[in-house]
C-alpha cells in the first residue's frame, strides 16, 4: 500500500510499522487500571456472565487454553460493547493430584517425603508453593488479553469456596445422595489415590491375550469336549488377576458350555474350586467365550459378582504388588504377569498366546502409570436423580448445547451415568467433613456446625475430587451459599465455553450441582463447545509427535492478536481447529495491513468528527453499504458461535473491500482535494472506526491502538458495538462498483500475463462503460490500472472484452518485448500441457483409479483442472500479443 502525500496534517502519528511488544502490555494495564473489565451488581444494565473454566494452579497456558480464552474474550468484549453489565469471572482450580505431586517432588529433592512433615505441615508447604510459584497462567492470560474482572478472582480452596463445598456436601449427605461403599474405582499405584474418569487417559497399548485352561491340566493340543469334562479355557490380558478369580462366566445361550453351567472348576495355583456361572454380559465372540471373573479388580467382573453373590478377593496392595499367598507374593503386577504365564506354560495350561495384542489401557493423566481397577472403600455421589435433572434441563430447553448435534452425546452420558467416586487419598484438597466416633458413629458436619470432639473421634482422611469443587464454580464464585447481590445479578450465567472433550466430565457435574443447589435454576443458558486444536494436517498435538505448539512463543514472535486471530478464524462449533505457524504469520500480516491502512488514513486527514455527508460518490456509498452487510454477517455468526465465519467475514471486508479497493479508489479523490476529498475523509474515518470496533473483540490490542489514534479517545473497549443503518444499504452502488472491479481486475490480469511492469503506463481506450453504468468512472479506471488516454499515433495492438461488453483497446508497442514474451509464454504452455497430459493419463488408467484412495484421485482431478485453466489463460495471452 502506498501513501498519498497530503497537505492536511494528521494530529496523531503512528509508527511506520506495528510492533506488538510496544503496545500490548501498555494497553492491557490501561484497561485494567481504567476499570473497564469490572462488573457492578448494582448496575441497571442487563447482565451477561461467563465464568472461566478454572485452569489448574500448576498450569501454564497451552494452545487449548489460548483457543478457549480467545473465544470467551471475544464473546465478552462484544457483549460489553453492546451495553451489557458484563462479568467474566477468573480463577484457578487447586488441582489436587497435580499440585500435591509438584510439592512432593520438591520435597523429594531435599530427601524428604510428605510423611516426614505430617499432614498439617505439608499442607502449609503447598500453600507456600502456591503463593510463590502457583498461578503462572494468570500472567499469561493477561498477555493473551483476557478481559476478566481481576477484582473477583477466585480459587477453589479459598474460604468462600471451601464453605460452599462443605455446605453442598452436607446437604447431599443429609438427602441420601452421598454415601460410602466398596466399589471398583480407578486407582493409580504411583499417586496412591482414586482417579476420576477424566484423570484417566486411554491409549492403544501392545499386550498379550493369553488363553488358559482352568481345571484339570492337559496337554496343550487337547480340546475341551464331551459331557462331564472338568476344564474350561478362558482368555485374558491381565493374567496376574487370576489369583483373585472367584468364578468363570459364560453366556447363558452359548451351547458350548451348557453342560458346565452350575459346576465348579479348579483355579490353578490356589487349590480353590470356583463356580461356572451364566451371565448375559459375556460376549461369546471374545476369546473362547468364557471369561474369568475377578470382582475386586475389574468393574465388569464386580457387576457380575454382585449379580451372582460372588466373593471379592483383593490380591494386590495399593502399589500394585501381589499380596495373594503363594509363589507370586511380593511381585509387582508387571513382574507377576510373565511369571504366572511361565508357570502356567510349565503346567501345560497355556492353550494360546496372541502377541502383540493391541487393546485400550488406562493411564494416570499425571504420572502416566497404568491405572489399576481396584475394589476400595470410597465416598460416592448417587448421581441418579441429579443426572436426570441435568438431562431434563437440556431436553426442556432451559439449557442449549451448541452445536445441537452434540446434545446426543450429552444425553448418552447423563442418561447412563454411574455413581461418582468423589474421595481422593490425598492431603491437598477439601477434606471430607465426616467424623467417626469410638463406637462407630458417623457424623457429617456443616460449615456452621462444630465437629464432635473427645477421645476416639477422628475426621475422614480423604479429600474430595477436584471436580467436586469445580462443579460449584458457576454459583460458588458468586457468593453461594450466601444470598449475595452478585448471585442475584449474575446467576444463571449466560454462556459456558469449553472443549467438547470435557462435556461429560465438567459440564455434566456443574449441571447436576447447579440445578440441585439453586432450586432448579440452570448454571448456564448455553453450552458452547469447541473442538481440540490440531496441527495443520489435522493431527492431534503430542510431544511424541513433536508437533506441540507453545502459544507463548507465537505471542513473542507474532503478537497476541495474530495468535488469537489465527485460532478464532479456525474455530467453528464442535469442530477441531487446525493451525500452523504460517497461518499465524498470515494473521500478523493482517494486523500490519490494518496498521498501514489506518496510518494512510491519518496521513490523509481521515476524521470521525461530524455527521456523514448526505451527498456521496458511488464509491463512498458502496463501502458504506458493504459495511452494513458485514455488520449483519458478523452479528449472525457471533450469535451462532461461528467464530471462524465471523473472522472470515471481517478479514475479507478489511483486506479486500477496505484496503485493496476502497483505499486505492480513495487515493485519486484525496489527491484531487476539494469537497469530494473532504467527504471521502469523513467516510474513510467512519469505516475504519466501525471496522476497528468490529475487530476489537478478536484482536483487541492493535485495534485499540489504531482506534485511539483515529478518534483521539482513550480506548474502544467500552464504546458502542456497530449497528446496521438501513439507509446506508445501497444495492445500486454495490452493483456499480462490482462492474468497475471486474473491469479493473481483467485489465490487471492482462497486464500481468503480458509481463508489463506494475508502474508502466500504457495508452488505451475504453468503450461500452455506459452499458454497465460506470461511464463516470473512466478516469478512476485509468488511474487504477496504469493506463493513459490515447493520443495521436495510437494503434490498438491488443483488445480485451470484459464485463457486459466493455472493451479495452491497448497500444503495447514498445511496452513489451514481443519475442521474449512469446518465448516465455510458450515455455509455460509446454509445462502446463505436460502436467495436463500426466494427469489425464493417471485418471484414464482404470487400474490406478480403482485402487487409489478417493482423496488422491480428487487431488489429481484438481491438478488437471488447474493445468487446463493455465492453458486457457496462456492461449489467451499468446493471442493478445501483437504480431512480430
Structural domains in the chain, CATH included, are: 193-373 (3.90.740.10), 580-729 (1.10.730.10), 749-880 (no CATH)
The predicted model gives 534-553 an average pLDDT of 77
Lookup: cell for 415:
442418561
* Phi and psi torsions of 713, nearest 5°: -115, 165
At 170 the pLDDT is: 98
Spatial contact of 759 and 786, defined as CB atoms under 8 Å apart: yes
Give the distance between the most distant pair of CA atoms in the chain.
117
Please state, in angstroms and rounded to a whole number, the distance separating the CA atoms of residues 733 and 624: 10
- What are the residues facing 787 on neighbouring strands? 762
Confidence band for 264, pLDDT divided at 50, 70 and 90: very high
The predicted model gives 465-479 an average pLDDT of 96
Of residues 881 and 664, more confidence is placed in 664
At 873 the pLDDT is: 76
> Nearest CA to 508 among 379, 438, 412?
412
542 pLDDT more than 70: no
The predicted model gives 84-92 an average pLDDT of 97
At 2 the pLDDT is: 44
Share of the chain above pLDDT 70, in %: 96
Q: What is the pLDDT of residues 474-518, one digit of tens each?
A: 999 999 999 999 999 999 999 999 988 776 678 999 999 999 999
> Nearest CA to 156 among 501, 425, 517, 471?
471
112 pLDDT more than 60: yes
DSSP 472: T
The predicted model gives 272-300 an average pLDDT of 93
466 pLDDT more than 70: yes
719 pLDDT more than 50: yes
Q: What is the 3-state secondary structure (H, E, C) of 442-475?
A: EEECCCCCCCCCCCCCEECCCEECHHHHHCCHHH
> Nearest CA to 701 among 124, 232, 73?
73
The predicted model gives 693-712 an average pLDDT of 98
Which SS3 state, helix, strand or coil, does residue 370 take? Answer: strand
* Phi and psi torsions of 613, nearest 5°: -60, 150
Burial of 50 (0-12, 13-18, 19+ CB in 10 A): buried
861 pLDDT more than 50: yes
224 pLDDT more than 50: no
Burial of 11 (0-12, 13-18, 19+ CB in 10 A): exposed
Quick count: other Cβ atoms within 10 Å of Cβ 299?
14
Q: What share of the chain is helix, strand, coil (3-state, %, to 5)?
A: 45, 15, 35
The predicted model gives 237-258 an average pLDDT of 94
At 221 the pLDDT is: 45
Q: What is the pLDDT of residues 362-374, one digit of tens each?
A: 999 878 899 999 9
Please state, in angstroms and rounded to a whole number, the distance separating the CA atoms of residues 104 and 109: 9
At 149 the pLDDT is: 98
Q: What is the pLDDT of residues 779-805, one digit of tens each?
A: 999 999 999 898 888 888 878 778 778
From first CA to last CA, the distance across the chain in angstroms is: 36
Please state, in angstroms and rounded to a whole number, the distance separating the CA atoms of residues 320 and 660: 67
Q: What is the mean pLDDT of the chain?
A: 91
The predicted model gives 549-573 an average pLDDT of 93
Over the range 596-610, which residues count as b (16 or more CB within 10 Å of their CB) and which as e? bbbbbbbbbbbbbee
Q: Please report where in the chains the cell 482422611 appears, as a residue.
A: 461
At 537 the pLDDT is: 75
Q: Is there a cis peptide before residue 417, judged by omega within 30 degrees of 0? A: no
Please state, in angstroms and rounded to a whole number, the distance separating the CA atoms of residues 679 and 681: 5
Of residues 824 and 650, more confidence is placed in 650
Confidence band for 12, pLDDT divided at 50, 70 and 90: low
Confidence band for 7, pLDDT divided at 50, 70 and 90: very low
C-alpha angle with apex 720: 717 to 723, nearest 5 degrees?
135
Q: Collect all residues with Cβ–Cβ distance below 8 Å to 876 and sequence separation of at least 6.
A: 753
The predicted model gives 10-38 an average pLDDT of 90
The predicted model gives 300-319 an average pLDDT of 94
CA 281, 195, 498, 514 torsion-angle sign: positive
837 pLDDT more than 70: yes
DSSP 722: P
At 545 the pLDDT is: 67
Tell me if 645 is assigned to a ligand binding site. Answer: no
748 pLDDT more than 50: yes
Q: What is the pLDDT of residues 650-697, one digit of tens each?
A: 999 999 999 999 999 999 999 999 999 999 999 999 999 999 999 999
Spatial contact of 504 and 529, defined as CB atoms under 8 Å apart: no
621 pLDDT more than 70: yes
Quick count: other Cβ atoms within 10 Å of Cβ 876?
13
Q: What is the pLDDT of residues 585-611, one digit of tens each?
A: 999 999 999 999 999 999 999 999 999
Q: Collect all residues with Cβ–Cβ distance below 8 Å to 634 and sequence separation of at least 6.
A: 646, 649, 650, 694
Spatial contact of 246 and 265, defined as CB atoms under 8 Å apart: no
At 820 the pLDDT is: 73
The predicted model gives 746-755 an average pLDDT of 85
How much is the pTM? 0.85
Please state, in angstroms and rounded to a whole number, the distance separating the CA atoms of residues 868 and 874: 10
**Half-sphere exposure at residue 304, Cβ-oriented, CA atoms within 13 angstroms:** 26
548 pLDDT more than 60: yes
At 741 the pLDDT is: 94
CB pairs under 8 A, 24+ apart, for 819-827? Answer: 819/884, 821/754, 821/755, 821/881, 822/878, 822/881, 822/884, 824/755, 825/753, 825/874, 825/877, 825/878, 825/881, 826/878
Amino acid at each position: 500500500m502506498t501513501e498519498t502525500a497530503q497537505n492536511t496534517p494528521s494530529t496523531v502519528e503512528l509508527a511506520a510499522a506495528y510492533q506488538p511488544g510496544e503496545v500490548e502490555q501498555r494497553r492491557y494495564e490501561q484497561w485494567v487500571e481504567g476499570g473497564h473489565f469490572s462488573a457492578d451488581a448494582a448496575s441497571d444494565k442487563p447482565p451477561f456472565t461467563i465464568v472461566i473454566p478454572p485452569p489448574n494452579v500448576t498450569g501454564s497456558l497451552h494452545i487449548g487454553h489460548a483457543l478457549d480464552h480467545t473465544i470467551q474474550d471475544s464473546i465478552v468484549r462484544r457483549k460489553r460493547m453492546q451495553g451489557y453489565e458484563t462479568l467474566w469471572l477468573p480463577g484457578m482450580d487447586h488441582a489436587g493430584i497435580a499440585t500435591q505431586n509438584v510439592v512432593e517432588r520438591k520435597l523429594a529433592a531435599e530427601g524428604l517425603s510428605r510423611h516426614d512433615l505430617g499432614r498439617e505441615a505439608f499442607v502449609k508447604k503447598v500453600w507456600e508453593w502456591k503463593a510463590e510459584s502457583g498461578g503462572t497462567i494468570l500472567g499469561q492470560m493477561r498477555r493473551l488479553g483476557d478481559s476478566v474482572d481481576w477484582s473477583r478472582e477466585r480459587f477453589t480452596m479459598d474460604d468462600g469456596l471451601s464453605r460452599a463445598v462443605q455446605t453442598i456436601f452436607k446437604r447431599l449427605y443429609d438427602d441420601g445422595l452421598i454415601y460410602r461403599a466398596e466399589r471398583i474405582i480407578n486407582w493409580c499405584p504411583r499417586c496412591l489415590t482414586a482417579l476420576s474418569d477424566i484423570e484417566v487417559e486411554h491409549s492403544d497399548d501392545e499386550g498379550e491375550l493369553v488363553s488358559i485352561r482352568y481345571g484339570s491340566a492337559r496337554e496343550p493340543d487337547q480340546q475341551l469336549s464331551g459331557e462331564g469334562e472338568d476344564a474350561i479355557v478362558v482368555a485374558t490380558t491381565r493374567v496376574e488377576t487370576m489369583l483373585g478369580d472367584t468364578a468363570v462366566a459364560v453366556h447363558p445361550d452359548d451351547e458350548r458350555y451348557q453342560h458346565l453351567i452350575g459346576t465348579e472348576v479348579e483355579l490353578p495355583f490356589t487349590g480353590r474350586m470356583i463356580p461356572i456361572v451364566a451371565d448375559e454380559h459375556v460376549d461369546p465372540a471374545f476369546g473362547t467365550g468364557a471369561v474369568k471373573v475377578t470382582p475386586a479388580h475389574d468393574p465388569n467382573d464386580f457387576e457380575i459378582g454382585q449379580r451372582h453373590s460372588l466373593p471379592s478377593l483383593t490380591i494386590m496392595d495399593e502399589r500394585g504388588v501381589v499380596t495373594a499367598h503363594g509363589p507370586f507374593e511380593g511381585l509387582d503386577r508387571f513382574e507377576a504377569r510373565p511369571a504366572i504365564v511361565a508357570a502356567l506354560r510349565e503346567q501345560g495350561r497355556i492353550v494360546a498366546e496372541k502377541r502383540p495384542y493391541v487393546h485400550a489401557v488406562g493411564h494416570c493423566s499425571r504420572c502416566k502409570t497404568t491405572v489399576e481397577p481396584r475394589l476400595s472403600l470410597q465416598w460416592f455421589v448417587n448421581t441418579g436423580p441429579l443426572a436426570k435433572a441435568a438431562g431434563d434441563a437440556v431436553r426442556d430447553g432451559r439449557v442449549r448445547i451448541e452445536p445441537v448435534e452434540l446434545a446426543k452425546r450429552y444425553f448418552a452420558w447423563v442418561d447412563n451415568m454411574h455413581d461418582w467416586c468423589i474421595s481422593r487419598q490425598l492431603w491437598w484438597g477439601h477434606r471430607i467433613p465426616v467424623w467417626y466416633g469410638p463406637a462407630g458413629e458417623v457424623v457429617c458436619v456443616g460449615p456452621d456446625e462444630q465437629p464432635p470432639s473427645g477421645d476416639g473421634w477422628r475426621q475422614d482422611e480423604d479429600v474430595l475430587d477436584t471436580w467436586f469443587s469445580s462443579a460449584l464454580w458457576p454459583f460458588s464464585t458468586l457468593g453461594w451459599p450466601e444470598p449475595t447481590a452478585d448471585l442475584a445479578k449474575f446467576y444463571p450465567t449466560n454462556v459456558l465455553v469449553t472443549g467438547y472433550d470435557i462435556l461429560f466430565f465438567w459440564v455434566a457435574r456443574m449441571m447436576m450441582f447447579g440445578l440441585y443447589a439453586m432450586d432448579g435454576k440452570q448454571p448456564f443458558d448455553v453450552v458452547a463447545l469447541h473442538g481440540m486444536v490440531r496441527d495443520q494436517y489435522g493431527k492431534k498435538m503430542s510431544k511424541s509427535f513433536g508437533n506441540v505448539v507453545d502459544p507463548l512463543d507465537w505471542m513473542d514472535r507474532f503478537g497476541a492478536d495474530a495468535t488469537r486471530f489465527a485460532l478464532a478464524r479456525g474455530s467453528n462449533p464442535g469442530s477441531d481447529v487446525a493451525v500452523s505457524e504460517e497461518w499465524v504469520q498470515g494473521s500478523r500480516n493482517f494486523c500490519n495491513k490494518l496498521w498501514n491502512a489506518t496510518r494512510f488514513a491519518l496521513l490523509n486527514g481521515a476524521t470521525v468528527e461530524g455527521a456523514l455527508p448526505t451527498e456521496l460518490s458511488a464509491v463512498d456509498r458502496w463501502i458504506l453499504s458493504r459495511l452494513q452487510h458485514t455488520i449483519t454477517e458478523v452479528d449472525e455468526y457471533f450469535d451462532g458461535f461461528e467464530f471462524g465465519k465471523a473472522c472470515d467475514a471481517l478479514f475479507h471486508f478489511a483486506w479486500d473491500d477496505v484496503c485493496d479497493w476502497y483505499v486505492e479508489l480513495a487515493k485519486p479523490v484525496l489527491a484531487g482535494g476539494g469537497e469530494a476529498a473532504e467527504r471521502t475523509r469523513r467516510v474513510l474515518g467512519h469505516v475504519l472506526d466501525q471496522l476497528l470496533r468490529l475487530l476489537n473483540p478478536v484482536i483487541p490490542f492493535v485495534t485499540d491502538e489504531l482506534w485511539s489514534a483515529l478518534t483521539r479517545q482513550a480506548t474502544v473497549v467500552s464504546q458502542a458495538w456497530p449497528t446496521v443503518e438501513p439507509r446506508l444499504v445501497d444495492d445500486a452502488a454495490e452493483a456499480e462498483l462490482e462492474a468497475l472491479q471486474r473491469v479493473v481486475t481483467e485489465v490487471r490480469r492482462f497486464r500481468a500475463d503480458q509481463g508489463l511492469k506494475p508502474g508502466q503506463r500504457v495508452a488505451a481506450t475504453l468503450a461500452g462503460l455506459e452499458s454497465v453504468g460506470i461511464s463516470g468512472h473512466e478516469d478512476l479506471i485509468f488511474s487504477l490500472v496504469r493506463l493513459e488516454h490515447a493520443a495521436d499515433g495510437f494503434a490498438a495492438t491488443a483488445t480485451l472484452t470484459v464485463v457486459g461488453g466493455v472493451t479495452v483497446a491497448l497500444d503495447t508497442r514498445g511496452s513489451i518485448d514481443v519475442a521474449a514474451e512469446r518465448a516465455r509464454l510458450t515455455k509455460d504452455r509446454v509445462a502446463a500441457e505436460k502436467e495436463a497430459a500426466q494427469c489425464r493419463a493417471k485418471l484414464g488408467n482404470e487400474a490406478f483409479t480403482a485402487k487409489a484412495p478417493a482423496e488422491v484421485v480428487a487431488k489429481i482431478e484438481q491438478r488437471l483442472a488447474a493445468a487446463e485453466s493455465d492453458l486457457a489463460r496462456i492461449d489467451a495471452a499468446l493471442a493478445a500479443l501483437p504480431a512480430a
